[in-house]
Amino acid sequence: MTNKLDELKAENTLKNKAKPSWLTFFYVGTTDDIFSEDIRRVFIINLFASVGVLFTLPLGIVALYERKPILGSFLLLIALLYTVNHLYLRRTHNHALSGNFVIYPLYILMIYLVYTGGVKGTGHVWIYCVPAVALFLHGMKKGLIELVFFTLALIITMFFTNSHFDDFGYDPSLKSRILFSFIVVVFLSGIYEYSMSRFNQELKETSAKLKLVAYRDPVTELLNRRGMLQRLEASSYSSFHLLLADVDFFKRINDEYGHDVGDYALVELANLIQTSLPEKGLASRWGGEEFLIAVCDCSEQEAYTLAELIRHKIEEHEFVYSDHKFRMTLSFGIATMNESTTLREAITLADGRLYHAKRAGRNQTRRN
C-alpha cells in the first residue's frame, strides 16, 4: 500500500510540474488535479484580482500623468490591494475572505469612477463588470442583495449629485440609459448564474450517484471490492486485520428458492455483519457470496473473536422470505496487513485460510 501511495504522489508531482507556469500562478500553488469547487473559486478569484491589477495599475499611472492625483492614487491603491490579495490567497487559499477583498473595493471604485468620470469622462463604462463578479463571488441571494444596494448608490450618484455627466456635457438621457442597461446586465447575469448553479448542483448529484455506483454494491449497499480497496489504501492506519467470509453452499439457495431469495439473503447477511462491526470497522461485498471485513485498533485474538461472533450470529439466525425459511453459515479466513505484509499479500493469505476452512468442513474460522 505504501508503494502505491508513493507512486500516486510521484505521479501528481509530475503532473503539477507539467502545468504551464501561468496556470500555476493562477492556481496560487494548489497541486490537486481534481478541479473541485474550492479550487475553481481560488482560480477565478485570483484571475479577477490579476485582471484588476492589469487594468488599474496602468490607468492609475495614466491618471497621475494627466495630473489627476486623487484618481491616480485611488487606482494604484486598488492595484496594491489586489496584489496583496493575491499573496494572501496564495498563502491561505481562503477564497471566502479573499473574494470580499475583490468585490467591495470594486463597488467603491465603480461609484467613484461614475462620480468623477475617471479618465476623460469614461468612468461609467466600467460598471458592467460588477454584476458578473458579484454574483459569482457571493451567489444569487447575497449577490443580488448587494447589487440592489449598488444600483441605489448608482442612482444617487448619477441623479442626485454633481457627477461628471454635467461636467462633460453628456446628453441628459445618458444617465437613464446607463441605469437601464446596467439593470439589463444584472438580469442577464442573474439568469446565467442561476442556470449555472442549477447545472452545477445537478452535476454534483450525478457525480455523487456515479461515485456511489462505483464504490458501493447495489444489492447490499456495502462497499464493493473497488470501494474497499480504495478505503484501505487511503487509510492512515498501517495495520488491519482482514476477515474474509464466504457463505457455505450459497448456490443451493439460488437453485432451490430463486435469485430473489438469494438477493434477500445477501442483504440480510450484510445487515447482520454491519451491525456486528466495531466503530472503525469496514465491511464490503467482496464478490458473489464473499464478504471482506477490515478492523483496526484491536489484537489478532479480538479479530478472531469478532469473526466467531458474526459466524455464530449467522448460524443462529433464521432467514424468512415469503413462505421460505432457511438457515445459513459462514466460513472465515483471517490475515493481518502490517508493515511486513502488504494489503494484497494479506488478502491472499486470508483467501488461502478461507479455502482451508472450507476444506475442513465449513462453518468455521481459520487464522493460520
Q: What confidence score (pLDDT) does residue 97 get?
A: 87
Does some domain include residue 10? Answer: no
Of the chain, the percentage scoring pLDDT greater than 90 comes to 58
- Which helix (DSSP H) or strand (DSSP E) does residue 356 occupy? helix 343-359
Residue type, 107: Y
Does some domain include residue 219? Answer: no
Residue keyed to cell 455483519: 273
Instruction: Tell me the pLDDT band of 71, cut-offs 50, 70 and 90.
Output: confident
CATH number of the domain bearing residue 327: 3.30.70.270
- Render pLDDT for 118-150 as a digit per residue (tens, 0 to 9): 878 888 999 999 999 999 888 899 999 999 999
Indicate the residue among 179, 211, 243 that finishes a domain. Answer: 211
Give yes or no: residues 51 and 178 share one domain.
Answer: yes
Indicate the residue among 146, 176, 211 that finishes a domain. Answer: 211
Instruction: Tell me the pLDDT band of 46, cut-offs 50, 70 and 90.
Output: confident
Does some domain include residue 217? Answer: no
Does some domain include residue 218? Answer: no
Give yes or no: residues 53 and 134 share one domain.
Answer: yes
Does some domain include residue 291? Answer: yes
Give yes or no: residues 234 and 285 share one domain.
Answer: yes
Structural domain total, the chain: 2
User: What's the length of the chain?
Assistant: 368
Give yes or no: residues 191 and 55 share one domain.
Answer: yes
Burial class (CB in 10 A: 0-12, 13-18, 19+), 313: middle
Domain that holds residue 295: 225-366
Does some domain include residue 216? Answer: no
pTM to 2 decimal places: 0.59
Three-state secondary-structure class, residue 286: strand
Query: Rounded to 5 degrees, what are φ and ψ at 337?
Result: -95, 125
Q: How much is the average pLDDT of 162-183?
A: 90
- How far, in Å, CA of 18 to CA of 320, rounded? 59
Give yes or no: residues 275 and 173 share one domain.
Answer: no
Question: Per-residue pLDDT for 16 more than 50?
Answer: no
Does some domain include residue 337? Answer: yes
Give yes or no: residues 294 and 335 share one domain.
Answer: yes
Q: Give yes or no: 289 in active site.
A: yes
- How far, in Å, CA of 33 to CA of 31, rounded? 6
* Half-sphere CA count of 328, side-chain side, radius 13 A: 28
Are 241 and 303 contacting, i.e. CB atoms less than 8 angstroms apart? Answer: yes
- Render pLDDT for 78-106 as a digit per residue (tens, 0 to 9): 999 999 988 888 888 788 888 888 899 99
Are 306 and 278 contacting, i.e. CB atoms less than 8 angstroms apart? Answer: yes
Question: Per-residue pLDDT for 13 more than 50?
Answer: no
Q: How much is the average pLDDT of 243-257?
A: 95
* Half-sphere CA count of 180, side-chain side, radius 13 A: 5
Give yes or no: residues 231 and 92 share one domain.
Answer: no
Q: What confidence score (pLDDT) does residue 164 get?
A: 84
Give yes or no: residues 176 and 235 share one domain.
Answer: no
Residue type, 365: T
Indicate the residue among 211, 244, 265 that finishes a domain. Answer: 211
Task: Quote the cell numbers at residue 351.
Answer: 483467501
Give yes or no: residues 282 and 329 share one domain.
Answer: yes
Does some domain include residue 260? Answer: yes
Give yes or no: residues 86 and 114 share one domain.
Answer: yes
Give yes or no: residues 294 and 358 share one domain.
Answer: yes
The overall average pLDDT reported for the chain is 87
Instruction: Tell me the pLDDT band of 24, cut-offs 50, 70 and 90.
Output: low
Q: What confidence score (pLDDT) does residue 49 get?
A: 85
**Beta-carbon neighbour count of residue 16 at 10 Å?**
15
Choosing from 11, 66, 233, 289, the catalytic residue is 289
Residue keyed to cell 492506519: 237
Give yes or no: residues 239 and 302 share one domain.
Answer: yes
